[in-house]
Amino acid sequence: MPKILLTNYYRPEPLSFVKRLVPEGFELLALDQPGQEEVIRQAPQADYLLAGGRTRVDAKVLEAAPRLKMIQRSGVGLDSLDLDAIRQRGIPLYVNEGVNSRSVAEHTAMLMLGTLRKLGEVNAMTHGGQWVKHDVGIRCHDLFDKQVGLIGLGNIGSYVAEMLKGFGVHTVYHKRHRLSADQEQRLGVRYLPLQELLSTSDIISLHCALTADTRNLIGEAELADMKPGAVVINTSRGALIDEAALLGALQSGHVAGAGLDAFAKEPLPSDHPFKGMNNIVMTPHIGGITAETFGELIRKAFSNIALFDARNLEIMTAKEIK
């Protein structure tokens, strides 16, 4: 019976959810604790890897998995995978492209609103018995009529642009390859060079992949270029932002607030300086996880593994990474 090894550690409730979706004829191997060492310990039994979370799949993992036939990514991000090592071993790699894009886009819009309306601060005060209305309200801002700058405009960024139409914002974007005029008109977006987008946008939202070129894409210089009082949103990858530089900009007030669902190190360390700052709304990289999307991610991942095992390659549901 072929075995599927989860590279992400799931707590009991989500693990039970995953187990119910395992295709007939397969055995699921779950981690007893998080981390690469546990993946390596169980890798010799694995015919397939269902790669999720931030656990690194590199040459050490591959060397420990002589039976490995294929790697299926639960989502789309590739920064936790050593693509060179995977190619050298000739292991097919597939991703679940676009399955949770809309969920991440919704989460992005929520963080924009939550940051502008100081939701974290207001929620904590109200739970604590403080009924403070005007004092906080006059420090909040509308989303209406703001310029929103999207850096990256793939599936998620495009959904964000579509959702923002109803808020009456002015949406601009920057990406390596500009869209066609028809695409820009359909999405209601306008192209700007990066520096101009940073200096004129009220809200800057990141929607690009983490690569060697985009690591620390938003650093001290880029933050200094931002319009005073701008808001930064990141539902992509934490390492796109120089967190020390962002901290300084938030503390000085040059950047008014941040809505962050991704961090350079996850889980967020207990002593991280972002904790306790009332101008940051933080969530635990949960943007792409809802009851609907998590089930769809796992179903499609398992389906693709089953199809691969049956050698029905022509009807695969996921996208192969070359």
Q: Does the active-site annotation cover 266?
A: yes
Q: For residue 169, count CB atoms less than 10 angstroms from its CB and return exposed for 0-12, middle for 13-18, buried for 19 or more.
A: buried
Catalytic residue among 285, 292, 296, 320: 285
* Residue 72 β-bridge partners: 50, 94
Catalytic residue among 27, 266, 292, 320: 266
What tokens appear for 183 in the block?
Answer: 């695409």
- Give the helix/strand (H/E) hosting 281: strand 280-282
How far is 199 from 236, CA to CA, in rounded Å?
21
Catalytic residue among 117, 121, 237, 243: 237
How far is 229 from 213, CA to CA, in rounded Å?
27
Closest CA to 233 of 211, 257, 217: 257
- The residues, any chain, with a CB within 8 Å of residue 56's CB and separated by 6 or more, are 36, 80, 81, 82
CA-CA distances (angstroms) from residue 92 to 88, 95, 226?
11, 10, 42
Q: Does the active-site annotation cover 254?
A: no
Q: Does the active-site annotation cover 285?
A: yes
Query: Residue 88, by phi and psi: left (phi above 0), alpha (psi -120 to 50) or beta?
Result: alpha
CA-CA distances (angstroms) from residue 144 to 79, 112, 147, 207, 299?
35, 11, 9, 21, 38
Strands (E), 134-263: 147-151, 170-174, 189-191, 203-206, 230-234, 255-260
* Exposure string for 97-109, b = 16+ CB within 10 A, e = fewer: bebbbbbbbbbbb
* Residue 203 β-bridge partners: 148, 231
Q: Catalytic residue numbers? A: 237, 266, 285
